[in-house]
Structure 1
Amino acid sequence: MGTTQLESVQEPKYWHLKTVLNDALDSEFEVGEILPNERDLAARFGVARATLRQALEQLELEGRLQRRRGVGTTVAPPRIGVAVGPSANTWPGAGRDAWTTIGCAEAVAPAAVAALLGTAADEAVHTVRRERTVQGQPVATELLYVPPASVPGLPGLLTPAEHAPAVLRELHTLELESEDRAVELGSARAEDAKLLDRLPGAPVLVVTTRYVSGGRVAAASVATYRADTCRLTFGDSGALEVTHHEPESRQAS
């Protein structure tokens, strides 16, 4: 059998360098240790800085490295498991919800979300901002979009502090028929990056969830997880889980 075009493609230089760097992280560096600057690393491995940067970005995406504002690139710690939601078919904010509500406003949803909700492109919806922390570190931020038609019993006059609790309370009165999720890789927007203590454009995992009640989508959420510290898995129960890095000291050899 002849060699296929795919088999003849050479491994990119940055990919080979990533493997070399990965071995160096295991043998020469401790968790939390700051890596040398790009100029020194490029000189050590005899590669262009552009090639080095590609390898570092890939290692960050795989959770081996973390880039921190004002600190630099550090070796990432190992991971622990954390459930994304309390259970299947549960409204946000109900039960053992691990999220913290930090605000709510009426705003026009992004076009993709409006399409999910079936609302007009210029229709304002209740937008609840929530965040998730693990061991004091931010790991995810979420925007929950709720059309006014889903919460018709909402009082007309609400203070900023009352807005989010009232929306969630009214949402919980509906019968949740089903929910579904989609996961994709994305880049952190400026606002999300600030909340997650990441740089704008950093890799993130975006989880979009639709909540169905009365035969229609009653709410939709877009949760943004740090891709450098989180990976998504499906457990035996079918619940989506996320794992987060937990600091761990390397034992002396």
Structure 2
Amino acid sequence: MTVDAVRGGVPEHGRVPKYFVVKNQLLNLLAELGEGALLPAERQLAVAYGVARSTLRQAISELTMEGRLRAYRGRGTFVAAPKLIQPLGLHSYTEALHAMGHQPSRRVVTVDCQPAGSSLAADLGVDATDEVVHLERVLLADDEPLGLESTYLPVRRFADLMTDFDGTGSLYQHMTDRYGIRYAEATERIETVLANPREAMLLGTNPAQPMLLMQRVSADQDGVPIERVRSLYRGDRIGFATRLIG
């Protein structure tokens, strides 16, 4: 067996599940159909590929979870647009989306104050009893929900944030314009998770859809913590890239 075959998903024992064969056949079909095209009916595809409809559905389900297909109740299943690939770095969401030719926006879900607690206090350099601003927003690209972001900032440093910032714009830009802050460094962790029912509802997605969870603590040019951010992104609609230099 060739290396290419192994890399193509064929295990060493050579036995390939039927759904995987169909999945690859469907990928070729999607390339032929092009973005936005309606996928042929299940019955037609099952006959064309000589498989049971349950096998076909498994292949379609995986492609939908991966963001290659998009299903709309009552309308059918369509070839999805390519994922947005956002560069990892100290950039604002607004800047990144504009650079990719998309229109960013945000929908505010929650704005409140709460005690920091021990975990937030350690990350933000405040006391556990100090208050933090909690800003929760749905991140959109061309009016489509892509992510759910919760940002925590120390009240004693940004006391007027809740009155000066409406939450729909770029917090990154507001910090620069209002406070003269430059985002200089950050520690970030990325992992895969499943959304809880509330998160799935806010993002308009299936709770079983894999998500990318990014947790970041940012600091300014003086090394003072600015914020802790928890961002949950739809794995079917967005990916991330970075450049590594040795």
Q: Which TM-score band (shorter chain)? A: 0.5 to 0.7
Report deviation, 1:179. Answer: 0.9
Kept in 2, the 8 Å contact 1:204–1:227? The answer is: yes
The aligned residue for residue 64 of structure 2 is 60
The aligned residue for residue 140 of structure 2 is 133
Cα distance 1:25–1:92, how it changes in 2: closer, same or farther (>3 A)? closer
Q: How does 1:153-232 map to 2 (within 5 A)?
A: 154=159, 173=179, 176-212=183-219, 217-232=225-240
Report deviation, 1:128. Answer: 0.8
In structure 2, how many angstroms separate the alpha carbons of the residues matched to 1:224 and 1:40?
Answer: 37
Cα distance 1:118–1:46, how it changes in 2: closer, same or farther (>3 A)? farther
Report deviation, 1:62. Answer: 3.4
In structure 2, how many angstroms separate the alpha carbons of the residues matched to 1:110 and 1:60?
Answer: 40
What is the aligned-residue identity percentage? 27
The two structures have a TM-score, normalised by structure 1, of: 0.62
Which of 13, 20, 23 pairs up with 2:25? 20
Map Cα deviations across residues 63-103 of structure 1 (whole Å, 9 max, x no partner): 3112345544321124566x568x62x68889999553514
Report deviation, 1:48. Answer: 4.8
Query: Which amino acid is the alignment partner of residue 100 of structure 1?
Result: R
The aligned residue for residue 143 of structure 1 is 150
The aligned residue for residue 242 of structure 1 is none
SS in 2 for 1:211: strand
Q: How does 1:41-56 map to 2 (within 5 A)?
A: 41-42=45-46, 44-48=48-52, 50-56=54-60
Kept in 2, the 8 Å contact 1:68–1:198? The answer is: no
The two structures have a TM-score, normalised by structure 2, of: 0.63
Kept in 1, the 8 Å contact 2:107–2:139? The answer is: no
SS in 1 for 2:213: strand
Query: Which amino acid is the alignment partner of residue 183 of structure 1?
Result: I
Kept in 2, the 8 Å contact 1:91–1:176? The answer is: no
Report deviation, 1:203. Answer: 2.6
**Does residue 233 of structure 1 match 2:238?**
no
Query: Which amino acid is the alignment partner of residue 134 of structure 2?
Result: T
Root mean square deviation of aligned Cα: 4.5
Kept in 2, the 8 Å contact 1:101–1:128? The answer is: no
Report deviation, 1:49. Answer: 5.0
Unpaired segments of 5 or more residues in structure 2?
1-10, 99-103
Cα distance 1:55–1:100, how it changes in 2: closer, same or farther (>3 A)? same
Cα distance 1:119–1:20, how it changes in 2: closer, same or farther (>3 A)? farther
Report deviation, 1:224. Answer: 2.4
Specify which structure has the bigger relative contact order, considering alpha-carbon pairs within 8 angstroms and separated by 6 or more residues: 1
Kept in 1, the 8 Å contact 2:84–2:238? The answer is: no
In structure 1, how many angstroms separate the alpha carbons of the residues matched to 2:129 and 2:75?
Answer: 42
* More helix by percentage: 2
